[in-house]
């Protein structure tokens, strides 16, 4: 796991190395083990490395050339502050963007990457004639590009954001994995195109100014995340999941897209055959996600997804799995640690319990709002952030997590509701926004659901059932722009890599096309996964009714609501969108016994106030919530 960034100038002039250094510095937390840079023609690339695979020779940038059928490669990775020169910046006019032209031995393409290519072992075996110079999992993609051009990413199995500069074509290639597990942002300006793993790097390097997009802000308030390629910042875009883009002369000139999910309706299969196949695909995915040259562990909530992950990891590992669980003491919400402890004991895991307290909430929330530069007001970021710190303290660089299990196997209650008629309690997903009917916003935030509605429309095509369409809609926006963004930022803030075995193309090909009856049965989702877990790890009690995961943010906010409300209401980002007296009333109404919506809305406003102060106003106070808001 790493940080990547770069620039392609429209003028062809060499990028300022000081700007590349600023980009690297802003992404240092993502890659504390080394830095590398390269400048060729009008393009510069910067990389910060978190060393996971090939600790000795895997520094980046990586370079490769192609000579009379035999490809040669080398590592250009260097330690902090060293610049590497690569290539000659030769033009490529008139060449098809999908096909590399003939190359000379002096033209070396350069690659930087953030992520893991899990099938790198198999790719190296398949590419027999290549003279690989490193053991890096990121070297095969560079050679695949030399052979296949823009279509290179279809061979990859993993999570990745990749940038390749091709001097023979004078083009920059950007690619992102199909689920959007790893982030990649870009901005097209008058000077050219700049990209980075996090938007804040573009701002800190002075390449773009952080200006708020009102329509995206409305999405954030009502949905708790934003949709599509446009971010909450003017002029800053996401490369969408599965996209590969070609940049020439500082402008995107071509795009390809690779889908994460299969098309078509369910494929009939018996329960016994489906269980056998589930065991095969889960074993294969977890096994390949464990490829690492450093110690790894996992996050265990005690729920179905993480328990299934623990069951398979325990089967595949000779040593006890290192599992980490967060819990909340003295609150009205369910504390998962007792059940997770029993599951871990049954699996023979080495279990670490992490307390997330009310004091942690007030102390850590400003830090979390800071790392969530592409914002998602997801309170699950709170325990995730502290779990990542605990994993780092325990000496781990890699953790496997259960994100994606609900989306792949149909777990959410909203999926069951969307299948029912309205007379029977059915309703569309996210039909009502967080602030609808509360009288807090100055206007109705019109259009907040348009982006998600577009994803719903696209997801429903191709003969999918209502359940499949709901799963696909969540995979388009909620998954990459909320769950995975939260996981990436909270873990990378501590230099820890998060891997998600449920979000694998082979798992998706199997799971999405299961019959609905093997996903939802007797009012429970993830039915097939539960059935598998019932045998694989009975202590998980997969068919027992459990309270859903939550964090007691409403309870904590309500306890200090009268004190907190006026502070939040006075923030510039809040005053421009909310009625101050209504904000104070909302915070006063939060807490135990209050309507859940009041606590949720108060949480969103508190997160947004802290986020806006840091990322839009540029205020960098240290301390807890009251220190920052009262500063």
- 399-449 pLDDT tens trace: 999 999 999 999 999 999 999 888 877 888 999 999 999 999 998 878 999
Confidence category of residue 90, pLDDT binned at 50, 70, 90: very low
Question: Average pLDDT, stretch 604-610?
Answer: 98
Task: State the Cα–Cα distance between residues 427 and 431, nearest whole angstrom.
Answer: 7
Nearest CA among 157, 150, 161, 123 for reference residue 139: 123
Place of tokens 């926004």: 433
Question: Average pLDDT, stretch 539-557?
Answer: 88
What is the helix (H) or strand (E) element at residue 172, kind and residue range? Answer: strand 171-176
Fold of 271-540: Rossmann fold (3.40.50)
Predicted local confidence at residue 131, as pLDDT: 87
2-257: CATH number: 3.60.20.10
Task: State the Cα–Cα distance between residues 529 and 285, nearest whole angstrom.
Answer: 15
Nearest CA among 557, 490, 544 for reference residue 331: 557
Return the bridge partners of 36, or none.
47
Question: Average pLDDT, stretch 308-335?
Answer: 93
142 and 87 Cβ atoms separated by less than 8 Å? no
Within the chain, how many helices (H) and strands (E) appear? 24, 19
What is the helix (H) or strand (E) element at residue 146, kind and residue range? Answer: helix 139-148
Predicted local confidence at residue 80, as pLDDT: 32
Burial, 83: exposed, middle or buried (Cβ in 10 Å; 0-12, 13-18, 19+)?
A: middle
Strand extents, DSSP E, 394-552: 398-400, 497-499
Question: And the tokens for 309?
Answer: 């992950």
Three-class DSSP category at 292: coil
The overall pTM is greater than 0.85: yes
- Cα–chain-centroid distance for residue 368? 15
Three-class DSSP category at 273: helix
Task: State the Cα–Cα distance between residues 291 and 124, nearest whole angstrom.
Answer: 15
449 and 216 Cβ atoms separated by less than 8 Å? no
Question: Average pLDDT, stretch 200-226?
Answer: 97
Confidence category of residue 396, pLDDT binned at 50, 70, 90: very high
The bridge status of strand 243-248 relative to strand 251-257 is antiparallel
Percent with pLDDT over 90 in the chain: 82
Terminal CA-to-CA distance of the chain, rounded, Å? 35
Predicted local confidence at residue 295, as pLDDT: 92
Return the bridge partners of 447, or none.
none
H runs (alpha helix) in 449-526? 450-459, 466-476, 478, 484-492, 505-511
Provide, for the chain, the percentages of residues in helix, strand and coil under a 3-state DSSP scheme, each rounded to the nearest 5.
40, 20, 40
Domain residue limits, the chain: 2-257, 271-540, 553-629
At residue 593, does pLDDT exceed 80? no
Task: State the Cα–Cα distance between residues 511 and 408, nearest whole angstrom.
Answer: 6
Indicate the DSSP class of residue 197. Answer: S
Task: State the Cα–Cα distance between residues 425 and 431, nearest whole angstrom.
Answer: 13
Strand order across the 70-75 sheet: 70-75, 62-67, 109-117, 158-166, 171-176, 243-248, 251-257
Question: And the tokens for 473?
Answer: 């809609």
At residue 79, does pLDDT exceed 80? no
Nearest CA among 82, 71, 64, 69 for reference residue 167: 64
At residue 456, does pLDDT exceed 60? yes
282 and 308 Cβ atoms separated by less than 8 Å? yes
The bridge status of strand 296-299 relative to strand 398-400 is parallel
Per-residue b/e over 526-541, b at no fewer than 16 CB within 10 Å?
bbbbbbbbeebbeebb
Three-class DSSP category at 347: helix
What is the helix (H) or strand (E) element at residue 36, kind and residue range? Answer: strand 34-40
Confidence category of residue 547, pLDDT binned at 50, 70, 90: low
At residue 98, does pLDDT exceed 70? no
Mean pLDDT of the chain: 91
At residue 103, does pLDDT exceed 50? no
Question: And the tokens for 548?
Answer: 């859903």
Task: State the Cα–Cα distance between residues 70 and 63, nearest whole angstrom.
Answer: 14
218 and 235 Cβ atoms separated by less than 8 Å? no
Task: State the Cα–Cα distance between residues 546 and 304, nearest whole angstrom.
Answer: 10
Task: State the Cα–Cα distance between residues 538 and 516, nearest whole angstrom.
Answer: 24
Task: State the Cα–Cα distance between residues 275 and 267, nearest whole angstrom.
Answer: 14
The bridge status of strand 398-400 relative to strand 497-499 is parallel
Indicate the DSSP class of residue 429. Answer: T
Predicted local confidence at residue 89, as pLDDT: 26
Task: State the Cα–Cα distance between residues 27 and 171, nearest whole angstrom.
Answer: 24
Predicted local confidence at residue 143, as pLDDT: 95
Can you give the C-alpha Rg of the chain in angstroms? 24
Predicted local confidence at residue 150, as pLDDT: 95
At residue 81, does pLDDT exceed 50? no
Place of tokens 């994606």: 404
Predicted local confidence at residue 69, as pLDDT: 39
């Amino acid at each position: 796991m790493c940080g990547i960034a770069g620039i392609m100038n429209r003028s062809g002039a060499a990028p300022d190395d000081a700007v590349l250094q600023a980009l690297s510095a802003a992404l240092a937390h993502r890659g504390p083990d080394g830095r590398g840079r390269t400048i060729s023609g009008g393009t510069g690339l910067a990389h910060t490395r978190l060393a996971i695979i090939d600790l000795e020779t895997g520094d980046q940038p990586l370079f490769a050339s192609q000579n009379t059928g035999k490809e040669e490669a080398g590592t250009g990775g260097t330690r902090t502050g060293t610049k590497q020169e690569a290539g000659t910046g030769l033009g490529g006019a008139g060449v098809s963007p999908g096909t590399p032209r003939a190359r000379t031995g002096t033209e070396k393409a350069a690659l930087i990457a953030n992520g893991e290519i899990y099938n790198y072992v198999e790719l190296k075996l398949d590419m027999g004639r290549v003279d690989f110079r490193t053991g890096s999992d990121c070297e095969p993609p560079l050679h695949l590009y030399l052979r296949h051009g823009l279509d290179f990413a279809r061979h990859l199995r993993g999570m990745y954001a990749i940038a390749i500069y091709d001097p023979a074509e004078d083009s920059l290639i950007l690619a992102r994995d199909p689920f959007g597990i790893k982030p990649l942002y870009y901005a097209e300006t008058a000077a050219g195109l700049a990209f980075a793993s996090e938007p804040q790097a573009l701002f800190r390097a002075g390449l773009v100014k952080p200006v708020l997009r009102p329509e995206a802000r409305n999405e954030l308030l009502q949905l708790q995340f934003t949709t599509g390629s446009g971010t909450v910042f003017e002029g800053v875009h996401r490369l969408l999941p599965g996209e590969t883009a070609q940049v020439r002369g500082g402008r995107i000139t071509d795009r390809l897209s690779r889908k994460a999910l299969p098309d078509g309706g369910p494929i009939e299969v018996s329960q016994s055959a489906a269980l056998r196949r589930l065991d095969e695909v889960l074993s294969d995915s977890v096994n390949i996600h464990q490829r690492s040259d450093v110690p790894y562990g996992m996050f265990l909530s005690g729920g179905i997804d993480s328990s299934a992950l623990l069951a398979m990891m325990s089967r595949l590992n000779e040593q006890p799995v290192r599992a980490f669980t967060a819990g909340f003491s003295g609150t009205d919400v369910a504390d998962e640690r007792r059940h997770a402890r029993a599951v871990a004991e049954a699996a023979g895991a080495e279990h670490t319990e992490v307390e997330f307290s009310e004091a942690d909430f007030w102390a850590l929330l400003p830090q979390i709002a800071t790392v969530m530069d592409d914002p998602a007001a997801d309170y699950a970021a709170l325990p995730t952030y502290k779990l990542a710190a605990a994993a780092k303290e325990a000496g781990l660089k890699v953790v496997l997590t259960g994100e994606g299990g609900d989306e792949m196997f149909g777990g959410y209650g909203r999926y069951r509701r969307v299948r029912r008629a309205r007379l029977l309690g059915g309703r569309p997903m996210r039909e009502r926004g967080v602030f609808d009917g509360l009288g807090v916003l100055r206007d109705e935030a019109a259009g907040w659901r348009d982006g998600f509605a577009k994803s719903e429309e696209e997801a429903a095509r191709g003969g999918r059932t209502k359940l499949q369409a709901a799963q696909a809609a969540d995979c388009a926006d909620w998954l990459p722009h909320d769950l995975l963004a939260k996981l990436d930022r909270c873990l990378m803030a501590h230099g820890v890599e998060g891997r998600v075995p449920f979000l694998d193309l082979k798992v998706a090909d199997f799971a999405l096309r299961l019959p609905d009856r093997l996903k939802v049965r007797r009012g429970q989702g993830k039915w097939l996964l539960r059935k598998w877990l019932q045998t694989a790890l009975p202590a998980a009690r997969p068919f027992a009714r459990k309270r859903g995961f939550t964090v007691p943010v409403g309870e904590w906010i309500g306890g200090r609501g009268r004190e907190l409300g006026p502070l939040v209401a006075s923030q510039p980002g809040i005053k421009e969108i909310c009625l101050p007296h209504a904000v104070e009333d909302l915070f006063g109404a939060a807490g135990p016994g209050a309507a859940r919506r009041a606590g949720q809305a108060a949480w969103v406003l508190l997160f947004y106030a802290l986020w806006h102060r840091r990322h839009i106003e540029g205020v960098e106070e240290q301390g807890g919530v009251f220190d920052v808001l009262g500063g």
